[in-house]
Amino acid sequence: METAQDMRAKIVGKATEDANFRARLLSDPKRAISQELGVAIPASMAIEVHEDSDATAHLILPPGSRLSQSDLQTVAGGSWNPVDNW
């Protein structure tokens, strides 16, 4: 099974080599990706494709943490005290 990273690499590689696919990817990414990879993309999922240029670079960040700083410390083991928990 291909990972999301494998699929992204395949899409970027194809867009680099095939100007027609690149144009379709920029104008209708869901359809272009569905056709290229043979996958169904849920209607609820949005896909945006941006083209870097000499003046603009795009940085994609993963989703933000859903845990609070306190929760993260607990998960990391930073707040459990065996004396308090006996």
Please report, for residues 8, 49, 50, the alpha-carbon distance to residue 15 in angstroms, rounded to integers and kept in the order given: 10, 11, 12
Q: What is the pLDDT of residue 75?
A: 62
Low-confidence ranges of the chain (pLDDT < 50): 80-81, 85-86
Q: Which residue shows structure tokens 């099974």?
A: 1
Instruction: Domain ranges for the chain, please list them.
Output: 1-50
pLDDT in tens, 67-77: 666 766 666 65
Q: What is the pLDDT of residue 85?
A: 44
Q: How many angstroms separate the CA atoms of 61 and 71, rounded? A: 21
Q: What is the pLDDT of residue 77?
A: 56
pTM attached to this predicted model: 0.67
Q: How many angstroms separate the CA atoms of 15 and 65, rounded? A: 31
